[in-house]
Amino acid sequence: MKGPSSKDSLDISVANYEDVILARQKARELMQSMGFSLLAQTRMVTAVSELARNMVVHAGRGQMSVNSVEKLNQKGIECIFQDKGPGIQNIDQALRQGFSTSNSLGLGLGGAKKLCAEFDIQTTVGKGTRVTIREWKTR
């Protein structure tokens, strides 16, 4: 069985910090049109900001796709971040609060995980990283 079925889909190339803002806007637009609460929007868009920035900082560039998804009559938003960067050596370490390889606060990846209902990460050293986050609308 495949994951949740996808309806609307949008791909954005993220190569610089201005693209990060664009990625945030696109995720927010879809959530607004789906009627997500302002808090849900803020949390998800903050996670999008962290993950889109990670692609720029660690991989130089990447792709984000924003999709509206459905499972068991529940509507949701899904964002997939895919890069061909160096990958992550130790995921547990990378997800830990305060861990950073780039002189940042180290809240990005772990923070994004905490902000979303669903978080999935697949990474291969030397090949790249793919992070999927989802948020479901409460009825």
Nearer to other proteins, 93 or 124 (CB): 93
d(CA 105, CA 122): 22
Number of residues that bind other proteins (CB under 8 A): 26
Contacts of 53 (CB under 8 A, 6+ apart): 17, 20, 108
**DSSP string covering 41-61, please?**
HHHHHHHHHHHHHHIIIIIS-
Q: How distant, in Å, are the alpha carbons of 5, 44, 55, 81 from that of 49? A: 24, 9, 10, 11
Q: Closest CB to other proteins among 73 and 138?
A: 138
* Nearest residue (CB) to other proteins, 66 versus 115: 115
Kindly tell me which of 41 and 82 has the beta carbon lying closer to other proteins. 41
Q: Does 134 bind other proteins (CB under 8 A)?
A: no
Per-residue string for binding with other proteins, 67-106, x by CB under 8 A? ------------------------------x------xx-
Per-residue binding string, other proteins, 15-54, x by CB under 8 A, is --xx-xx--xx--x---------xx-xxx-xx--xx--x-
First-to-last C-alpha distance (Å) of the chain: 25
CB–CB of 49/104 below 8 Å?
A: no
Residues at the interface with other proteins (CB under 8 A): 17-18, 20-21, 24-25, 28, 38-39, 41-43, 45-46, 49-50, 53, 97, 104-105, 107-108, 110-111, 114-115
